[in-house]
Structure 1
Amino acid sequence: MEKFELFNLSNKIAVVTGGYGHLGQAICKALLHAGSKVIVAGRNENKFAEVFGETKNIYFEEINLEETASIKTCFERIGDKYQNIDILVNNGVYLLANDAENMTDHEWETGVDGTLNSVFRCIREVIPFMKRNMSGKIINIASMYGMVPPNFKIYKNFERFTNPPNYGVSKAGVIQMTKYYAVYLAKYNINVNSVSPGPFPSSQVQASEGFINNLKDSNPSGRIGKPEDLMGVINFLSSNASSFVTGQNIAVDGGWTVW
């Protein structure tokens, strides 16, 4: 097999939840550049249009990750319209944040639902479409904070940026769920892997030079991540290049979780 064929996604149908967000945009670009058709599953079609405009081969489908019926209907629409679902990237998240001492039950449960349970629901509803063709790629976006706890020293004087406990706990669950489904779905030739981004602060957070310097100083690579840093691993895990890779969590963090 020639090199370019290993990473070629021509004629593949990819579904990305949260595809117009900070990291989602780069994930979609990686899939598009490799030749796939990309369906962004989200709530806000106007935001999708703002981000992608007239970009070819990328389409919007409405989904509410809080509701099983909405997820099921969304995947059925995509399956009927495009006759297949080859790739699913679970990137969408919703949560309520608070500090570790004052987080309410409602805030905790909403974060777990939007970060962990929603991934479970999407995997469950996409399985029939991938089993039908005895192939598929599921990529779950986890986090460095699903691997290690926050270093609270870097948040001193920047408490508003502190990572909430429901997020990291849920992302750790995403990594374990990845391993579970990798084993369960292996007999159907469905690969399930997760990617754990490191410090990829949003543009709003990057406005705080002091906090960004704290992140840089805490990372072996001496910098924060750019969304484009995810594109290679997404292409790899979506393609035939990773046909014998399943149940793995790949940290894209500049070495953060090594320390």
Structure 2
Amino acid sequence: MILFVGAGPGDVELITVKGMKALQEADCVIYAGSLVNPKLIDTYCKEDVIIYNSAKMDLDEVIEVMVEMEKDNKKVVRLHTGDPSIYGAIREQMDRLIEHKIEFDVIPGVSSFVAAASRLKEEFTLPDVSQTIIITRLPGRTGHGEGGQLEELAKHRASMAIFLSVQSIGEVMVKLRKSYEARTPVAVVYKATWDDEKIVRGTLEDIEKKVEEASITRFAQILIGDFMSDKYSLSKLYDKGFSHMYRTAVSSEER
């Protein structure tokens, strides 16, 4: 059995309990060394665990290790950063395991975009502000399949989390300014929840300069949207005058 495990955003306590137990029982861990906090392995794995850093491996080499470990009845954890379903490149690995008739499962993790929001102490979805979150990135070498360029997605003016793009912060801002107002809040969170985390706040007008001054060129989330401003409506969920299946509204006369 191969377990694909979401390592979480960096803080060793932000892996799920199920993911932690998988690491504790693993005979072999293949981890994304360029992104996963190695303290996870030091904290949770057995002393005799076999470790592979996939940053130095290609797909064939990763699968070869999995196949050999499976032949020896070893428990293998493929440790991915954040949640493996977001920019995790796990589909190609799972398809290869199917070809080899090797069973696998996926344990989700805390994605860096929600970790970034937690460090900013912000809420992506606010009444009368935004009820939609767009997760995207600049195309880069992987291209794009849905036909949605960043400037097209920006037309929705939803809350947005942009992965893997801070190295091109200037290009990102140019594309976003075509739809978002210039004073729209932007935050860049470098290595959210890590010990060396950095947070830079600004607007579409000034965030590029601030990010350059902070020397942030990778490992960062770009968050944009009015969810980081001060104007929003209160939720109906806790409104005294709103009824739902668990509570009856209080009339204006009773208040």
TMscore range, shorter length: 0.3 to 0.5
The answer to which structure has the higher strand fraction is 2
Q: TM-score, normalised by structure 1?
A: 0.35
**The structure with more radius of gyration:** 2
The answer to which structure has the higher helix fraction is 1
